[in-house]
Amino acid sequence: MNSLNRKVVLQGIKVTKHFGGVRALQSLDFELHEGEILGLIGPNGSGKTTLFNVISGIFPPTSGDVLVEGESICGLPSHVVAAHGLLRSFQNLRLFKRLPVLTNVKIGAHLGVKTALFDTLTRSPVFRRLERETGEKALRWLAFVGLQHRANELARNLPYGEQKLLEIARALAGNPKVLLLDEPAAGLNPPEVAALADVVRRIREEGIMIFIVEHNMRLVMDICDRVIVINFGEKVAEGTPAQIQQNPAVQEAYLGT
């Protein structure tokens, strides 16, 4: 699959992030092309989650730029980044735990809802239509990850694997262009990982691009079109899963010399 002549949707240019003296990210370049699943791997503490936090506006980079379809989203607050079509899941689940599952996904659809207070107070036709669409959209994405039977339970009462899927459904409800998945398979058992891989593939079929941080190598090699390897905040290698597996620098980063 030749990705070079496809449109670049998400691009990072020399993204650098320092926390005091700690150089979490050093001049990192990356590109996510249309229709692509891009993997990001690296040993613990190599800066993967930091990169996701920079991209999604949790904190700004020290220097460098992040572009979505050519437009800089660098330093913008996270809700503006989300409005640019970049939605994420979190490594340590960040669900709205004490709210029902369906409400979690409805909140995820917040970006599609723009009604004034007046419309809300009078239950205007606009409000009613949007509320109905929000409900339908939430149910659709809940069914997409196979959690429709859990709709009315509290999010915190779901088993861990389902909570992970719920977080993905919540992000999908916001109509993302790019979905950032931060270790979606962490803590899942093999059947759950298989189900997750299936969900990720079906997300791609929906025309949504995926940037995934993952430690589960089998999953990464299985679903990703391209993989970037970082270590100590620097890019070590980039290529197809097959190329990455052959790369001596990667083996060194993971196994040491």
Partner 1 sequence: MTILTGLVDRARHLLDVFSRRAWFSTASSLALLGVLALVPVFVKNEYYIRVLNTVLTYSMLTLGLNIVLGYTGEFHFGQAALYAIGAYTTALLTTRWGVSFPLAFLASIVLPVAASLLLGFPSLRIRGDYLSLVTFAFGEIVRVVANSWVQLTRGPMGIPGIPPARFLGFTIKGNVPYYYYGLALTALIYLGCYLIVNSHFGRAFLAIREDETAAGAVGINTGRYKVLAFAISALPAGIAGSYMASYLSFVGPTNFTADISILAAEAVILGGMASLPGSILGSAILVIALEILRPIAQFRKAFIGVTLISLLLFLPQGLLGAGSLRALLAKGIRDRGTGSWRHDQEQI
Footprint of partner 1 (CB under 8 A): 49, 53, 56-58, 77-79, 82-83, 87-88, 90, 92, 94-99, 103, 106-108, 110-111, 113, 115, 117, 120-125, 127-128, 130-131, 134, 154, 170-171, 174
Q: Contact at 8 Å (CB) between 211 and 41? A: no
DSSP labels, 187-233: T--HHHHHHHHHHHHHHHHTT-EEEEE-S-HHHHHHH-SEEEEEETT
Nearer to partner 1, 128 or 202 (CB): 128
Helix (H) or strand (E) holding 181: strand 178-182
- CA atoms within 13 Å, Cβ hemisphere of 219: 27
Min CB(88)–partner 1 separation in Å? 6
Nearer to partner 1, 115 or 148 (CB): 115
Dihedral sign, Cα of residue 53, residue 43, residue 158, residue 137: positive
Min CB(39)–partner 1 separation in Å? 21
Min CB(108)–partner 1 separation in Å? 5
Helix (H) or strand (E) holding 234: strand 234-239
Min CB(4)–partner 1 separation in Å? 31
Nearer to partner 1, 118 or 256 (CB): 118
Min CB(110)–partner 1 separation in Å? 5
Q: Contact at 8 Å (CB) between 90 and 166? A: no
Three-point CA angle 26, 30, 34, nearest 5°:
165
Nearer to partner 1, 19 or 245 (CB): 19
Nearer to partner 1, 183 or 225 (CB): 183
